[in-house]
């Protein structure tokens, strides 16, 4: 494992199959320019969202667009034919309005020939800021692209337990036989089983926005070839690197901040030694014991809730209100949950 301040030595280092991980301490565009075309097996990153985090220079959506208009064509160039690229993003927030950053990313990637969108994964998690003026944000998205139409997708290492493993075929020649895959089911494109890295998470470092290693592991295990080179151009504290090593891949990251590079270096060394603390991919989300203190509403919560109208009463009261913005025929044409 080595850190370089010049991009070419970092590239040469990781091209030697006997080396496992390297970080280029500098601007990812410099690293990308030094990488040969078709040389990287898998790319995973979470870029700066330009919302005023300590590591962000630009604070507006134009900064995000101009950075991405330079970076995305370069990552597509260095990705091997048949390789996958995953871009993990949330929302740009300005005053009270939000912009899903995957809209911006997809707009740019869709102009790059040969890059095909395979999934838009919703990563939902339980903790974050509480909003008073809209529903609190509790998800981000991961756009998965392949370079070309031929690509590898290995579902078996990332299958999750069946919800109803005893379910059987209810008709046909297999009637009565178990209908599920014994290895587990496809985790789907909605992931709500991986907690985000908040203060009490065992992977928490000084980085304000690191993503969990398990998120990277699910993507690497299913989309990267064993022993292949994984690139994270905005590598932060190298959560992608920790996952790459644990999954038997090699890793190259780029990061501007000296402090994050130092933490990343420690994490990668600890991973190579097998001592890095990581929350395992299949560990269930913590649910408090019923009756435990944290699961029990204080008496003033109960008192406050008793002052609210019951949901049914509330709906009946709403239904009795005159329809003023929608004609009766329009409202009747709506499906029940529209
Ligand atoms: C959202 S964070 C990534 C966190 C990372 N996924 C992790 O788990 O640690 C984005 C990172 O990109 C870095 N960064 C911003 N612009 C960069 C650039 N032009 N080149 C390299 N790194 C950059 C920031 O310092 C920040 O650490």
**Residue 149 and residue 90 in one domain:** yes
> Would you say 140 and 203 are in contact if contact means Cβ atoms under 8 Å apart?
no
**Residue 193 and residue 228 in one domain:** yes
**Residue 86 and residue 155 in one domain:** yes
Check residue 335 and give its pLDDT.
32
Please name the residue that has the structure tokens 């905005």: 234
Does any domain span residue 337? no
**Residue 194 and residue 93 in one domain:** yes
Check residue 173 and give its pLDDT.
96
Does any domain span residue 24? yes
**Residue 50 and residue 94 in one domain:** yes
Decide which of 77 and 96 is more confident: 77
pLDDT band, residue 37 (cuts 50/70/90):
very high
Does any domain span residue 19? yes
Report the DSSP pairing between strands 79-89 and 250-255.
Answer: unpaired
Does any domain span residue 90? yes
**Residue 312 and residue 228 in one domain:** no
Listed in sequence order, the residues at least 6 apart from 320 whose beta carbon sits closer than 8 Å to its beta carbon are none
Check residue 57 and give its pLDDT.
66
Torsion of CA 173, 179, 183, 185, to 10 degrees: 140
**Shortest-distance atom of ligand 1 to CA 235:** 5
279: closest CA among 222, 221, 220, 211? 211
**Does 18 score more than 50 pLDDT?**
yes
pLDDT tens digits, one per residue of 233-268: 999 999 999 999 999 999 999 999 999 999 999 999
**Shortest-distance atom of ligand 1 to CA 238:** 9
Nearest CA to ligand 1 atom 19: 27
**Residue 240 and residue 315 in one domain:** no
**Shortest-distance atom of ligand 1 to CA 27:** 20
Does any domain span residue 174? no
**Residue 44 and residue 153 in one domain:** yes
pLDDT > 70 in the chain, percent = 92
Domain that holds residue 30: 2-162+188-273
- CATH number reported for the structural domain that contains residue 100 in this entry: 3.40.50.150
Q: The whole model's pTM is what?
A: 0.91
pLDDT tens digits, one per residue of 140-196: 999 999 999 999 999 999 999 999 999 999 999 999 999 999 999 999 999 999 999
**Residue 320 and residue 196 in one domain:** no
CA–CA distance, 108 with 102 (Å, rounded to integer):
10
**Residue 301 and residue 212 in one domain:** no
**Residue 304 and residue 257 in one domain:** no
Check residue 323 and give its pLDDT.
54
> Could you give the angle at the alpha carbon of 21 between the alpha carbons of 58 and 106, nearest 5°?
40
Choosing from 55, 67, 220, 252 the residue with most ligand 1 atoms within 8 A of its CB, the one to mutate for a pocket test is 55
The count of structural domains within the chain is 2
**Residue 236 and residue 297 in one domain:** no
DSSP assignment of 17-69 equals TT--EEEEES-HHHHHHHSPTT-EEEEEE----SS--TT-S--SHHHHHHHHH
In this structure, the number of other CB atoms found within 10 A of the CB of residue 77 comes to 17
Listed in sequence order, the residues at least 6 apart from 325 whose beta carbon sits closer than 8 Å to its beta carbon are none
Question: Pocket residues for ligand 1 (CB within 6 Å)?
Answer: 27-28, 46-48, 55, 207, 209-211, 234, 236-237, 239, 254-257, 260
**Does 317 score more than 80 pLDDT?**
no
């Amino acid at each position: 494992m080595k850190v370089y301040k010049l991009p070419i030595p970092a590239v040469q280092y990781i091209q030697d199959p006997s080396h496992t991980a390297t970080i280029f301490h500098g601007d990812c565009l410099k690293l990308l320019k030094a990488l040969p075309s078709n040389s990287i097996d898998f790319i995973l990153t979470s870029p700066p969202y330009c919302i005023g985090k300590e590591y962000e220079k630009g604070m507006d959506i134009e900064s995000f667009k101009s950075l991405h208009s330079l970076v995305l064509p370069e990552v597509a160039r260095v990705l091997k034919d048949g390789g996958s690229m995953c871009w993990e993003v949330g929302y740009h927030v300005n005053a009270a309005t939000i912009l899903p950053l995957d809209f911006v990313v997809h707009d740019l990637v869709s102009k790059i020939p040969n890059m095909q969108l395979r999934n838009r994964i919703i990563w939902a998690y339980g903790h974050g800021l509480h909003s008073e003026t809209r529903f609190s944000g509790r998800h981000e998205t991961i756009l998965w692209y392949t370079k070309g139409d031929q690509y590898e997708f290995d579902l078996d290492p990332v299958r999750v337990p069946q919800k109803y493993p005893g379910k059987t075929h209810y008709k046909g020649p297999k009637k009565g036989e178990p209908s599920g895959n014994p290895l587990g089911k496809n985790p789907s494109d909605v992931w709500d089983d991986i907690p985000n890295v908040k203060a009490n998470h065992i992977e928490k470092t000084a980085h304000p926005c690191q993503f969990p290693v398990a998120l990277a592991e699910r993507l690497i295990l299913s989309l990267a070839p064993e022993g292949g080179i994984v690139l994270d151009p905005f590598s932060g504290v190298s959560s992608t690197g920790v996952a790459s090593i644990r999954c038997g891949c090699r890793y190259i990251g780029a990061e501007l901040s000296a402090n994050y590079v130092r933490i990343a270096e420690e994490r990668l060394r600890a991973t190579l030694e097998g001592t890095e603390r990581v929350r395992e991919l299949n560990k269930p989300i913590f649910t408090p014991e019923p009756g435990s203190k944290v699961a029990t509403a204080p008496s003033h919560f109960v008192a406050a809730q008793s002052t609210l109208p019951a949901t049914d009463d509330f709906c009946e009261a709403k239904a009795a209100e005159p329809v003023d913005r929608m004609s009766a025929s329009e409202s009747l044409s709506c499906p029940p949950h529209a």
